[in-house]
Amino acid sequence: MTITNGHTVPLAPPRVHAVRGRLRDEPVAGTKKVLLAAPRGYCAGVDRAVVAVEKALEQYGEPVYVRKQIVHNVHVVSTLEQRGAVFVDDVAEVPRGSHVVFSAHGVSPAVVAGAADRDLHAIDATCPLVTKVHREATRFAKADRTIVLIGHAGHEEVEGTMGHAPERTILVNGPEDVAALEVPDPENLVWLSQTTLSVDETMETVRLLREKFPAIENPPSDDICYATQNRQVAIKKVAPAADLVIVVGSANSSNSVRLVEVALEHGAKAAHRVDYAEEIRQEWLDGVGTVGVTSGASVPEELVTEVLEQLADAGYGTVEEVVTAHEDLMFSLPKELRTDASGNPTRGLGGRRR
């Protein structure tokens, strides 16, 4: 199976441990060390979504179907496949009457209706922060406002959000789209954004939108999620001191790709993204004294641990954690899954990996 979100990514079998001893401990000027960014890795919405699939498998047995990837991470998806999750592109592929989980990125009302038409038992694992954007889009559309949605065409979250107000939403991919943008009423605009964008690029897009359309209004609260912002702030602090930054995350993970860009924009001499530790290349480490390490919001910590072990083999055994924020947010699981092993109601909080 492959997954597509602007990139086609093969789903390799999940790996428990990286191949050790691949990297050599070559001498460099000065000392070798790792600056480990924090926060990193799983956010509350991702944790909730992954736990939702695991709990659905426990509660209903396999197979449990999942529309699209539950989160954008090759390892997570392939691991859940091994446990009995079946990932599909469309609810039309799900057998009638089956259980289906909607991914953390959210879905349009048309997808919900399609699931109902097939008598599917739908479990909505949409991140609550994405749901907030959906509600904003619906409310502004009902008020006959034109919504300028800042986001990446083809991303599942963008498709879901646009599906809540298709007649009232115009997509802007970034600053480069603003000059040619035309709207029906410049005095009746509001902007919203995909939750996983670069904070700096989004604010530049907003600045240009305000220059062109002075009456455009802000959303009632920030749409870019706290976890995306926190991970970008952390890597901004690490980057100026790093000869190399390694971002753990998948190619179709928007927030992981943004972390590479942010690292380079804020002083890292080089930055690369990897899914697994064994993808680190020896030549990346040539002359490198300080390595910055972080991970996207859909990456389990075990993959970061493997990267640190691989780097330790190459002489980077000293690890300094650079902490810019502490996260303790947890979301309740979807209501269908808020029971214990005996079927008794519970709060059903995600966050067990945090």
The SS3 of residue 232 is helix
C-alpha distances in Å from residue 2, one per residue of 71, 77, 140, 255: 14, 11, 36, 20
Active site residue 176: no
255 forms beta bridges with: none
- In degrees and rounded to multiples of 5, residue 126 shows phi and psi of -55, 135
Distance of CA 85 to the CA centre of its chain: 20
Q: Cα(293)–Cα(242) distance, rounded to whole angstroms?
A: 9
- Pick the catalytic residue: 54, 136, 156, 157? 157
Which residues contact residue 147 at a Cβ distance below 8 angstroms, ignoring those fewer than 6 apart?
137, 140, 141, 165, 168, 169, 170, 189, 190, 191, 192
Cβ-proximal residues to 341 (8 Å cutoff; 6+ apart), any chain: none
Nearest CA-CA partner of 308 in 294, 298, 297, 296: 294
Q: What residues act catalytically?
A: 157
